[in-house]
Amino acid sequence: MYQEMARQTLLAGDASIRQRTTAYASRYERWEDLSSVRRRPRRNFPAPPDGSPPADLFFPPELYPVVLHPLVAAKGETVGKALLLCRLYDYLDFTVDLENHAVIPVAQKISRGRSGLILPEQMMADAYKIVTDEAWHGQFSYDFARQIAATTLIPRAAARDTGVPAFMQRLDDMRDQLPISVRGLEALLFAIVSETLISGILSDIPRDDRLPDSVRELVRDHAADEGRHHIYFRSVLEHLWPALTPEERRAIGPQVPAAVYAFLEPDYAQTFRHLLGIGLTEAQADQVIAESWPRETVRRGIAEAAAPVVRYFTNAGALDDARTLDSFERAGLIARQPIGAGATW
Give the binding site for Fe ion (CB under 5 A).
134, 137, 195, 226, 229
Q: Shortest distance, CB of residue 173 to Fe ion, whole angstroms?
A: 23
Which of 204, 268, 28 lies closest to 124, judged by CA?
28
Cβ distance to Fe ion smaller for residue 12 or 135? 135
Q: Shortest distance, CB of residue 133 to Fe ion, whole angstroms?
A: 6
Q: Shortest distance, CB of residue 343 to Fe ion, whole angstroms?
A: 30
**Residue nearest Fe ion (C-beta atom):** 229
* 336 contacts 329 by C-beta, under 8 angstroms: yes
Cβ distance to Fe ion smaller for residue 186 or 225? 225
Q: Shortest distance, CB of residue 232 to Fe ion, whole angstroms?
A: 8
Cβ distance to Fe ion smaller for residue 59 or 140? 140
Cβ distance to Fe ion smaller for residue 82 or 103? 103
Q: Shortest distance, CB of residue 228 to Fe ion, whole angstroms?
A: 8
Cβ distance to Fe ion smaller for residue 195 or 248? 195
Cβ distance to Fe ion smaller for residue 43 or 137? 137
